[in-house]
Structure 1
Amino acid sequence: MALISLEDLDGLDDEQLDDDITDNPEPMDEDERLLAHWQAVASTHQVSVPQEMTGPIQEMTRNNQQREPLPFTPISCHEKMGEVLYEERVYPAGHWASVTSGEDLYEQSISMAFMKLMRFICKENSAGRYLGMTVPVVSHVHMMEDGNTFEKDVQTSIFLPAEFQNNPPQPSDPDITIVHREPIRIVARPFFGTTTEETVGRQISQLWEIVGVTDNLRRDDYMVAVYENPGVPHRRNEIWFIRRNL
């Protein structure tokens, strides 16, 4: 069973916490109440939250309003009858914290990776401090030779906050790597709801139908950008196609 993902670990309030612990007759302190809430959320996603995540959960909850957006340069926006079909953007070069995971399911892989990245953000780093959160969280999907099936290994990454771009803190977890990526030009289409292999695969097919056949977009790699936690109805995500050249 996979662990709960980073996107699950914010957006709660006292009323939600009280709802989650009404069946527990034992008095609970704040840390226990937070953990109980996210264990309840996790059960709906068929994932589990270990006891040692109490500290990172509390840290992320305390700082859940302080999110730094990933910077980009807009290139174009394509609309039809007021609906955004897709946008083109260029994201700058910079340092990312990345984890590659290869579980049985795509959603399990990103959940395992998110948990590691969350601990890195929450003080398990050479700076010994909370680093701050950027959005979106981006997962890099590689396709098998048939062009339709995801490879098991999925790389999930967060862009380091501006404060740490020139001198990135090093992770305590050897599974996390700090990588420098060159600028990337992407075609982005929004979608809403869950991010499973099925839903992501469907979004890939739909965007190909919109943009048509072109050699300038890669077919072997895609990215999935997640902006909000699963408690948000119709939460916002994007599928990213990667242009071969800027």
Structure 2
Amino acid sequence: MALISLDDLEGFDEEQLDDDITDNPEPVGDEEQERLYNHWQAVASTHQVSVPQEMTGPIQEMTRRNQEREPVPSVTISRHEKLGEVVYEERMYPAGHWACVTKGEKLYEQSISMGFMKLMRFICKENSAGRYLGMTVPIVNNIHITEDGFTFKKDILTAYYLPAEFQANPVQPTDPDIIIVRREAFRVITRIFYGTTTEETITQQINMLWEILGATDDVHRDSYMVAVYENPGVTCRRNEIWFIRREP
């Protein structure tokens, strides 16, 4: 596949694409739908994946409802600042149900892209409720590190927190690759970063947070989480690296 850089995407008018859809609650016409699909296809090519044509509907639905986002519940335990800037936070996430899919593609970015497309179809009506479920943020990707301490294991789990409406009685996926998991409460140390998420950029963020924290045995070294707050159609995405606290 021919690849393009993120700089090449400047020719796409992202804000106009979003405005055209979000300002109009009715389904868009064929021409606008094709333009939106081509934009996502261009972004996907930077991750060395292709967006199948059947993703056109979910892409349109999620773009149209872009402002309707429910935050995953959490409690901030502490915030560490330097010169007025937040360096990292510690948060508690309560127990809850997540829709999870695991992909083991050649590249990390391919795995998260393929996993998220499956979750998009689940969110956009491929579920037992037969309707749009609502978007929650962040989407969380679980990473496991090999024994050398540097390389990502192939399988990446991508998880979507079910909206509050479905926590007591979880909606079920029609895709057998997606499973509903109840995760117990967990604590993380988290730091914000922006841009694309690749194995290289995530490794940099992991190393940076380790330098800030110094030597500690209070967090896991063989697994991390990457929290993503923007959909793949956004060029400069907000992300967080999460270090997972060990159980006391």
Using the size of structure 1 for normalisation, the TM-score is: 0.87
Is it true that 1:166 corresponds to 2:168 in the alignment?
Answer: yes
* 1:150/1:43 CA distance change after superposition, 3 Å: closer
| 2-structure distance, mates of 1:61, 1:234 | 16
SS at match of 2:54: helix
Report the counterpart of residue 79 of structure 1 in structure 2.
81
Equivalent position of 2:129 in the other structure: 127
Cα displacement (A) at 1:53:
0.8
Listed as ranges, the matches of 1:82-93 within 5 Å are 82-93=84-95
Cα displacement (A) at 1:211: 0.7
User: C-alpha displacement at 1:12, in angstroms?
Assistant: 4.2
Q: How does 1:55-204 map to 2 (within 5 A)?
A: 55-204=57-206
In structure 2, distance between residues paired with 1:220 and 1:42: 28
Query: Identity over the aligned pairs, expressed in percent?
Result: 71
CA contact (8 A) 1:101 1:113 kept: yes
Report if aligned partners of 2:47, 2:110 keep a CA contact under 8 Å in 1: no
Structure 2: runs of 5+ lacking an equivalent: 2-12, 21-28
Partners of 1:136 and 1:56 in 2: CA distance: 18
CA offsets, 1:174-200, max 9 Å, x none? 000000000000000111111000000
SS of 1:47 mapped into structure 2: coil
Structure 1 residue identity aligned to 2:223: D
Tell me how far apart the structure 2 counterparts of residues 38 and 205 of structure 1 sit (CA, whole Å): 31
Structure 1 unaligned residues grouped into runs of 5+: 2-10, 19-26
Measure the CA separation in 2 of the matches of 1:229 and 1:185: 24
In the superposition, the TM-score normalised over structure 2's length comes to 0.86
Q: Residues 75, 218 of structure 1: CA spacing in aligned structure 2 closer, same or farther, 3 A cutoff?
A: same
2-structure distance, mates of 1:16, 1:166: 33
CA RMSD for the aligned pairs?
2.1
1:93 partner amino acid: A
